[in-house]
Amino acid sequence: MAESDLTWLSLLVFLPAICAAGLLVLPSRWPELLRWWATFGAAGTLALSLCVVVGYYNLLDQHLDANGMPRHSVRTRLDSRADKAASDAAQPIPKKLDPNDWIARRAWIAPFNVQFALGADGLSLPLVVLTALVTLLAIVASWKIEDGVRGYLALLLLLETGVIGAFLALDFFLFYVSYELMLLPMYVLIGLWGGNNRKYAALKFVVYTLLGGVCLLVAMIALYSVNARDFVDQAEVNQRAADVQKKQPNLKPEEAAEQVEVHTFDFVTLSKVGRAVSLVLSGQEERLAVKTATVEVPGPSDEAKQVRLFAPGVDRDAALARLKTQPVCTKRFQYLVFVLLFLGFAVKVPIVPLHSWLPDAHFEAPTPVSMILAGVLLKLGGYGLVRVAFPVCPWAASELAWWIGLIGVIGIVYGALVAMGQTDFKKLLAYSSVSHMGFVVLGLASWGSAANAQYWQWGVSGAMFQMVAHGITASALFFIVGVVYDRAHHRDLNRFGGLKEPMPFYAGLSAILFFASMGLPGLCGFVGEFCVFLAAWNFSPGLAVPAVLSVVLTAAYLLWTWQRVYLGTNPATKDFPELTPREAVCLVPFVLLAIALGIAPSLLLFNWMEPSVAGWIENLAPLKP
């Protein structure tokens, strides 16, 4: 019988694709049926994501503090759960896999050790729920699409499968396949349903994304060349040694074992290799130690300076010697792979100067596609930095942290300045996204040593919260543009004005979302930026000052935009109808979330995101001398 968590996670990934396949069977002459089918499919995916959240929260709930609040525990960390699951499966007589650990592994392409590996934690699940919510509301917003309804909705659902697969993947190959799967649906959605210059925008999107994908592919191949035999369960090494001895009976057992190499795409294993290399390259190899158990629970007698990374049963000296002879244990390799990973994800963030595809894509894309692009796809870049780039190459990330922070600050200031000069509503929001995502990069880059780990934890927590908050506000603001475009048939800010009179409910909801995007206290945009500011100031006041001052620029262009669109009088807009019920259904959930996460950020940040961030910090902060 399959693990229940394997079933839940697999359904969460593939339900949208199954519904997309169902659309291809339904008759195209019944567009209303197609729309309802897609809507119920997206709603089912959202319901599944919330069920997984409940299951994961129950896992955290097993470890409570004195106040009954979930807290960080070694046993609940994703890397610990993944190690235990891999160890149970590697035993000569495999142990029964835990159906409630929210880690699922199955062999996929055995000759290359590629696994169908999925895992849920507080870093991935908020983005999965965000993806499901934004996709559902984008489909509701698409009910006015008349041409090619079946293909359009099928592509939206296929896009959702790719995004959720990337957020849950624990295997680099699976992550890469899901990451690239999103390319075709987005290209077709922009190229067929976009504006007048849609072909150029779609081609530009593909070229930039493919360049980023090539960087990730090269980095993935380089990481696969690493021999990770000393970081995996030794039952797997022994089994491979036995296979070698069967083929070469003349070999002694120790000689057969010496020939074994383990190459993997597993994020958790590659992260352990990266952390070990970081200690060696920073002159701290004496701190490297061997685990005494697959999942160790630190006790009061443990040496605080020891970092236990080698698998139980490994000879430390032999393992260290093997590690130091590999190319991965060189500064050149670490710099090269990290830069490749960073560039690959920078395209999606997007980071200046790799951002120029975004304004064109938004300008030409239909409103629902812009909602998904801004609310979901940009988060893949930030998530890739958190899940892959920093953990796998921590030494290079630490060495380049200040420069990464500088890139984030440049994006923040540049995006705000260019947004201020825009007259097209959509392009203004596109450059605003460039600015807001710069806070994600700055928060991750605010690397602190173990002594100052609390500040870096605030920065990473702020970056994760900022991704969710921006996903909510950006999706809603692009929908707001779509609402007024349906009535005015243009997006020129200088031709708007006076919308508050004929559309007061619309204007009020828009004001809340504008203020949330601006970072007003009490709304969702403030929490993440505030945490990033605290971390950046401790890391480098020189980077923090321009980031803080950019708040003034953000307030300036957003308030000026709101005034130009909603205040005053304008004969051209005085007869515009108020929000329809369908439009209100799309907009009100975003407004409620913007308020709820601003007033009670613990709903997301401290209850079930913070434990995973704490585990992430505990892995990386001690590596810095």
Mean pLDDT, rounded, for 259-285: 92
Is the confidence at residue 25, as pLDDT, over 80?
yes
How many residues can be counted in the chain?
Answer: 625
Contact indicator for 137, 588 with CB cutoff of 8 Å? no
Phi first, then psi: what are they for 578, rounded to 5°? -70, 170
Closest C-alpha among 187, 138, 183, 141 to residue 162:
183
Across 598-610, b (16+ Cβ under 10 Å) vs e yields: beebeebbbbbbb
**What interhelical angle do 425-445 and 357-364 show, nearest 10?**
140
Who's near 98: CB < 8 A, 6+ residues apart? 3, 84, 85, 88
Contact indicator for 273, 310 with CB cutoff of 8 Å? no
Place of tokens 């806070």: 439
Q: Which residues are 114's β-sheet partners?
A: 109
| CA distance linking residue 34 with residue 413, whole number of Å | 44
Confidence bin at 205 (pLDDT 50/70/90): very high
| CA distance linking residue 197 with residue 202, whole number of Å | 9
What H or E segment, with its residue span, contains residue 597? helix 581-599
Closest C-alpha among 465, 469, 443, 466 to residue 390:
443
289: helix, coil or strand? strand
| CA distance linking residue 103 with residue 120, whole number of Å | 7
Higher pLDDT, 147 or 47: 47
Confidence bin at 449 (pLDDT 50/70/90): low
Q: What is the DSSP letter of 6?
A: H
Is the confidence at residue 63, as pLDDT, over 80?
no
Is the confidence at residue 67, as pLDDT, over 60?
no
| CA distance linking residue 394 with residue 387, whole number of Å | 12
What are the start-end ranges of the E strands in 191-306?
288-290
Higher pLDDT, 188 or 447: 188
The share of the chain scoring above pLDDT 70, in percent, equals 95
Q: 288-290 and 307-310 as β-strands: parallel, antiparallel, unpaired?
A: parallel
Alpha-helical (H) ranges within 497-580 are 504-518, 524-539, 541-566
Q: Which residues are 160's β-sheet partners?
A: none
**Over 344-399, what HEC string results?**
HHHCCCCCCCCCCHHHHHHHHCCHHHHHHHHHHHHHHHHHHHHHHHHHHCHHHHHH
**Over 54-86, what HEC string results?**
HHHHHHHCCCECCCCCECCCHHHCHHHHHHHHH
| CA distance linking residue 392 with residue 20, whole number of Å | 35
Closest C-alpha among 138, 137, 216, 131 to residue 165:
131
Confidence bin at 300 (pLDDT 50/70/90): low
Given this model, what pLDDT does residue 69 score?
Answer: 47
Is the confidence at residue 70, as pLDDT, over 50?
no
169: helix, coil or strand? strand
| CA distance linking residue 441 with residue 131, whole number of Å | 20
Mean pLDDT, rounded, for 499-517: 93
Given this model, what pLDDT does residue 250 score?
Answer: 80
Q: Which residues are 288's β-sheet partners?
A: 307
Q: Which burial class, exposed, middle or buried, applies to 324 when counting CB atoms under 10 A from its CB (0-12, 13-18, 19+)?
A: middle
Mean pLDDT, rounded, for 173-182: 93
Confidence bin at 153 (pLDDT 50/70/90): very high
Given this model, what pLDDT does residue 2 score?
Answer: 61
Higher pLDDT, 253 or 511: 511
| CA distance linking residue 136 with residue 159, whole number of Å | 12
- Which CA distances in Å does 30 have to 23, 37, 110, 599? 11, 11, 44, 44
DSSP 100-119: TSSEEEEEEEGGGTEEEEEE
Given this model, what pLDDT does residue 509 score?
Answer: 95
- The per-residue pLDDT for range 71-113, each reduced to its tens digit, is 556 777 888 888 888 877 777 766 777 777 889 888 899 889 8
What H or E segment, with its residue span, contains residue 307? strand 307-310
- Which CA distances in Å does 392 have to 232, 387, 408, 451? 15, 8, 20, 22
| CA distance linking residue 219 with residue 428, whole number of Å | 34
Confidence bin at 322 (pLDDT 50/70/90): very high
Q: Which burial class, exposed, middle or buried, applies to 53 when counting CB atoms under 10 A from its CB (0-12, 13-18, 19+)?
A: middle
Mean pLDDT, rounded, for 572-601: 92
Average pLDDT over the chain reads 89
Q: What is the DSSP letter of 621?
A: G
| CA distance linking residue 189 with residue 155, whole number of Å | 7
Confidence bin at 503 (pLDDT 50/70/90): very high
Domain coordinates in residue numbering, the chain:
225-329, 400-625
- Give the pair of three-digit tokens for residue 114: 């590629």
404: helix, coil or strand? helix
- Which CA distances in Å does 115 have to 6, 16, 110, 172, 229? 13, 22, 8, 9, 17
Confidence bin at 304 (pLDDT 50/70/90): low
Place of tokens 């191949």: 221
Is the confidence at residue 194, as pLDDT, over 60?
yes
Which of 139-153, 320-334, 428-442, 445-459 is predicted with the least confidence, judged by mean pLDDT? 445-459
| CA distance linking residue 128 with residue 141, whole number of Å | 20
Given this model, what pLDDT does residue 62 score?
Answer: 66
Highest mean predicted confidence (pLDDT) among 284-293, 303-312, 410-419:
410-419
Is the confidence at residue 462, as pLDDT, over 90?
yes
| CA distance linking residue 209 with residue 206, whole number of Å | 5
Confidence bin at 298 (pLDDT 50/70/90): low
Given this model, what pLDDT does residue 526 score?
Answer: 93
